[in-house]
Amino acid sequence: MSDALRQTVLRQFATVPVPATGTAVLSPIDGLMLIRAAAPGGIEHAIARPLACLVLQGRKQVTTGARTLAFGAGDSLLISADMPTSSQITGAPYLSLVIDLDFALIAELVEDMRSADAGDPTAVADRESALATAVCVEPTDAETADAALRLLHLLDRPQSIPVLRAALMRELHYWLLAGRHGAAIRRIGAPDSQAHRVARAVALLRQDYGRPLPVERLAAIAGMSPSSFHAHFRAITSLSPLQFQKQLRLIEARRLMIAQGIPASRAAFAVGYESVPQFTREYRRLFGLPPGRDADSMRQSMRSSVAA
């Protein structure tokens, strides 16, 4: 991993306070996030979007389903589908760069790369034979790190971002596709792939998580029968559609309680629950504490970080 990339990201945090516990996040360019933590942190729950995370310093672990992956500086984590994750920074100081994967751009590049490989009958077959998993860790390819560095250099000349961002983001996606993660990313770029079709239903779940969404409606959006949709949804996200929606609701309720200080009962109704006891049971099952105690604990931790 290029030390120049690490130094460039550190420079962006030069005027940003990093809490003693927790993380600081910058989003200087659309589709790109920079993350820094001064110390190891607690477990964070999320429904991750498709992304590539280039770790520049420190260590982290991510759990999804029954799999836990540990990775550190010089590694790249790929998440190629919307899925629930539990993550924890285990080695600090921690520094990473996160790229949101663009479905439309991937589909376009896959087609261009297929045409370019037409004269080499083994090229596509060799890449497609690689094992593609929804979450995987590989060493960061030098070409990917170099493209990320040149994208970050736009920050030194902000007027260049609207002109050059698209081209450099396209190049960054190309090197991800051409590198070790290519087979897994290629699955989400095919418009008729199961992952791409399930993603259409996931987009609606993210948008309308607080409303009842019958599986028949989600299946229709994905262009599948209800039984086929349910099976593919679970295979890709590790959850049923109902479980997926439930986690979206609980994660948003937690954010509301911590960020806005609203009580658990209001948070429950705000995200679509009709029963506070049911909300409390399911919240404790996911986060390990009842809603009120968990929110109080998180706010106290944040106040301690500021005081430090």
Is 244-307 in the same CATH topology as 194-238? Answer: yes
Could you tell me which of 34, 43, 4 has the C-alpha nearest to residue 298? 43
* pLDDT number for residue 115: 72
pLDDT higher than 80, residue 104: yes
Q: Taking 60 as the threshold, does the pLDDT of residue 126 lie above it?
A: no
Question: Can you give the pLDDT at residue 128?
Answer: 37
The β-bridge partners of 68 are 63
Ranges of each domain in the chain: 1-187, 194-238, 244-307
> Could you name the CATH architecture of 1-187?
Sandwich (2.60)
pLDDT band at 124 (very low <50, low <70, confident <90, very high): very low
Cis peptide before 93 (omega within 30 of 0): yes
Q: Which residue has the higher pLDDT, 1 or 237?
A: 237
Question: Which CATH number is 194-238 given?
Answer: 1.10.10
The mean pLDDT value for 251-258 works out to 93
Q: What would the pLDDT profile of 204-217 be if each residue is shown by its tens digit?
A: 999 999 999 999 99
Is pLDDT at 141 greater than 60 in this prediction?
yes
In the predicted structure, residue 167 carries a pLDDT above the cut 80: yes
Topology of the domain comprising 244-307: Arc Repressor Mutant, subunit A (1.10.10)
- Using 50, 70 and 90 to split pLDDT, how confident is the model at 307? low
Q: Does the pLDDT at position 235 exceed 70? A: yes
Q: Work out the mean pLDDT of the chain and round it to a whole number.
A: 88
CB 221 within 8 A of CB 200: yes
The predicted-structure confidence for 181-209, as pLDDT tens digits, reads as follows 988 888 766 666 788 889 899 999 999 99
Q: What is the 3-state secondary structure (H, E, C) of 3-58?
A: HHHHHHHHHHCCCCCCCCCCEEEEEEECCEEEEEECCCCCCEEEEECCEEEEEEEE
Q: Which one-letter DSSP state was computed for residue 262?
A: -
